Amino acid sequence: MDRISRLYLVCCIYGLLAWGYVVALQIRNENWVYEVLAKWVPIRLDYFGEIGFIISLLCAIALALRQDKGVNPSKRSKRR
């Protein structure tokens, strides 16, 4: 696995963790998602979770396409 693939994997995992954090907060108290993430980061938690999910999804797609690039469909073994 090369550096770019590892970077995609790390971004995918951190994006899912950010999304999971926001979902866990919303389950605990549904009004917390409308709060600001931090004083120095003026973004609401629900937007932070959406951005994390989108980054995770895009990095997972990019990782799958990058790993599939080297596979030649004509040379795959056919199962019978």
Q: What is the pLDDT of residues 14-53, one digit of tens each?
A: 999 999 999 999 999 888 888 888 888 888 998 999 999 9
The answer to whether residue 36 is domain-embedded is: yes
The model's pLDDT over 66-76, given as tens digits with 9 standing for 90+, comes to 887 766 666 65
The answer to whether residue 79 is domain-embedded is: no
Q: Are strands 36-38 and 41-44 parallel, antiparallel or unpaired?
A: antiparallel
User: Any idea what the Cα angle at residue 22 is, between residues 19 and 26, rounded to 5°?
Assistant: 140
What are 79's two structure tokens? 């199962």
| Structural domain span for residue 28 | 3-74
pLDDT of residue 70: 63
Alpha helices in the chain (DSSP H): 3-28, 45-68
**What whole-number distance in Å separates Cα of residue 11 and Cα of residue 2?**
14
User: Any idea what the Cα angle at residue 42 is, between residues 39 and 44, rounded to 5°?
Assistant: 110
Structural domains counted in the chain: 1
